[in-house]
Chain A
């Protein structure tokens, strides 16, 4: 009999819950919100695909070997000089920015708890926010005019370096922060000095994450235009190796000047340059991520 009573109660409960309806308004709002949430993601994905697709469709007819073997001639030609210039300046900036940025990152992570560390972190954050055109303009008035280097590789590279520093410092700091304290203690316990712990234990341990940061930095510097407009200038010819007083070509410049020319050939070249830059940047970012995943899988340690 007891089970029958229980069954009756359950049936009553069931009836009550069926009668209990979520108000129409609430349902409507939830459905609307879901539609909004999904469509906002679809919007972003569509924007990404439309950018990549637009560039690819326009660049497709221009993609041939001539791009890699010819230099630009003002309205057309190839992109050999610009590709060379972009690579030289990105690698140059990386070469200068990596030691400084990684040192700053080590300092922030290992000794950054005090006042000096807080100030450094703060200034680094402020430097991230400085508009790139301002960096370029300061590069122009200091190096190009005041030091008399004129439009040159050195001025472009140093301007890019200043831009990259905070990014590298931050990614290094985060990478080192993921290493447990015990690892450092083990190092000191074996009698290693501060330098040995940092250089031979922490840096190798954080190498995949730091490398990812460097890949990101190179990608960032390859895609920049504004800091280079008034520091690197533009040249239709190959670089002859002078650090100062010789302008150099780079891909992003081609995009924004050649698209303003009235010729179809120039437009195709601009899109070809945009394709090369976008592909280069995206590949670098993906490569950096793959490097991080592989490194973490291989060493198995220090996961974030």
Chain B
């Protein structure tokens, strides 16, 4: 039998892709294994990240060498990551739906192309530039003008009152994240709106609904699954975003936010900012604990992504 050389070469080259993902997970688990043994799973809901006394003599706990007093609780990171991403979703979803409608049905076709360039290019702006923009423009603006105003206006609403903070914090991070994920949601949604059967819309129009009512009562309910799927996908992106959050979140340590202006930190930003200090730990447990955070983050995003992909696959959108 003739060996199909091309097919074999193709598969061999292509297999680097799944291989890299599997190796990624395997190496991460192997490297963080000592930290997993030491931390068990309690570290997810305890709130005391502390590298311990770095000048003491290492002690042995659960068979692992650590510095005296070292604890690696990351509850504040779990809270910060999830709350900032969910808040970003709440801001992003309505705006993404509005702009998707505007670009797919609101303006005439010849204008939609050039105008959609704004949204598409927004998706291409590097995340560190978002961070710089947040740092240089949003943080002073929010901290000095908007947050104090919001505190005064919403003084009766829980989580919106209290100290206005410095501008670095949960709401700033969520706002930057929202601007980053709106183009993603909007682009997929636009595609889905155009794929909806015209007959459905025509049926609605023939009943006397105007175009917006057709969209609200017919198209949008039809696209519910797509909407949820692409929303979860964007949530995954927001959960893993590093640089932009790092530059505007205030990098709180062991601190739970008491209102939406308070400083936070997220898992991704924490990994990026803490490696230098973790390297001071002679037992290497701090670096392995960071690796465990990376593993947790990876697992969360994988679960989130799989959920989203399954929902989108059901609607035949990739």
- A residues sitting closer than 8 Å to B (CB atoms) are 26, 30, 33-34, 36-41, 43-45, 47-48, 50-51, 54-55, 58, 99-101, 103-104, 106-107, 111, 119-120, 122-138, 140-142, 162, 165-166, 169-170, 193-195, 198, 216, 219-220, 222-226, 229-230, 252, 255-256, 259, 270-271, 274, 277-278, 281-282, 285-286
Tell me if B6 and A30 are in contact (CB < 8 A).
no
Q: Which residues of B contact A (CB under 8 A)?
A: 4-7, 9-11, 13-14, 16-18, 20-21, 23-24, 27-28, 31, 94-99, 101-103, 106, 115, 118-122, 124-133, 135-137, 179, 182-183, 186, 210, 212-213, 216, 233, 236-237, 239-243, 246-247, 268, 271-272, 275, 287, 290-291, 294, 297-298, 301-302, 304-306, 309, 318
A283 CA / B304 CA spacing, docked (Å): 33
Summarize B's interface: helix, strand, loop or mixed.
Answer: helix
A-B contact pairs, 21 of them (CB 8 A): A41-B103, A44-B95, A44-B122, A45-B115, A48-B125, A51-B122, A119-B18, A129-B305, A130-B298, A132-B240, A133-B297, A134-B268, A137-B290, A141-B28, A141-B291, A169-B14, A255-B131, A256-B132, A271-B136, A277-B129, A286-B121
Assess the B305–A124 pair: CB atoms within 8 A: no
Q: Are B17 and A166 in contact (CB under 8 A)?
A: yes
Contact A229 B272 (CB under 8 A): yes
Complex interface: chain A residues within 8 A of B6 (CB): 193-195, 198
Tell me the smallest distance from the CB of B123 to a CB of chain A, in Å.
9
B242 touches which of A54, A130, A225, A277 (Cβ 8 Å): A225
Other-chain contact of B268, A40, A43, A131, A162 (Cβ < 8 Å): A131
State in angstroms the CA–CA spacing of A111 and B6 once bound together: 13
**Chain B residue with minimal CB distance to A58?**
B136
B17 and A104 contact, CB distance less than 8 A: yes
Taking a contact as CB atoms under 8 Å apart, the answer to whether A256 and B247 are in contact is yes
Q: How far is the CA of A138 from the CA of B295 in the complex (A)?
A: 10
Closest to A137 in B: B294
Tell me if A41 and B102 are in contact (CB < 8 A). yes
Contact between B243 and A256, CB atoms less than 8 A apart? yes
Partner of B27, one of A104, A138, A274: A138
Min distance, Cβ A262 to any Cβ of chain B, angstroms: 14
Check if A40 sits within 8 Å of B21, measured CB to CB. Answer: no
Which single member of B13, B99, B294 contacts A41 (CB below 8 Å)? B99
Known: A45-B118, A274-B132. 6 other contacts (CB 8 A): A40-B98, A103-B9, A129-B240, A134-B298, A169-B14, A256-B246
Q: Cβ of B291 and Cβ of A137 under 8 Å apart?
A: yes
Cα–Cα distance between A48 and B125 once the two chains are bound (Å):
9
Complex: how many Å from CA A196 to CA B132?
49
Inter-chain CA distance A30–B98, complex, in Å, is 13
Would B128 and A223 count as touching, CB distance under 8 A? yes
- Would you list the 3 A-B pairs with minimal beta carbon distance, nearest first? A131-B240, A223-B126, A40-B98
Select which of A39, A131, A226 is within 8 A of B239 by beta carbon.
Answer: A131
Say which residue of A39, A124, A222, A225 sits within 8 Å of B243 (CB atoms). A225
Across the interface, do B129 and A133 meet the contact criterion of CB distance under 8 Å? Answer: no
How many Å from the CB of B2 to the closest CB on chain A?
10
* Nearest CB of chain B from residue A59's CB, rounded to whole Å: 10
**Which of the residues A216, A271, A278 comes within 8 Å of B125, measured between beta carbons?**
A278
Among B7, B98, B239, B305, residue most surrounded by chain A Cβ atoms (within 10 Å)? B98
Contact status A37-B212, CB under 8 Å: yes
Residue of A at shortest CB range from B304? A129
A55 to B130, CA, bound (A): 10
Best-buried of B106, B240, B290, B291 by chain A (most CB within 10 Å): B240
Complex: A107 Cα to B287 Cα, angstroms: 39
CB <8 Å contact, B290 and A30: no
A133 touches which of B4, B27, B271 (Cβ 8 Å): B271
Contact A131 B212 (CB under 8 A): no
* Cβ-neighbour of B272 out of A41, A48, A162, A226 (below 8 A): A226
Tell me how far the C-beta of A196 lies from the nearest C-beta in chain B, rounded to whole angstroms: 8
- What are the residues of chain A within 8 A of B101 when measuring CB–CB? 37
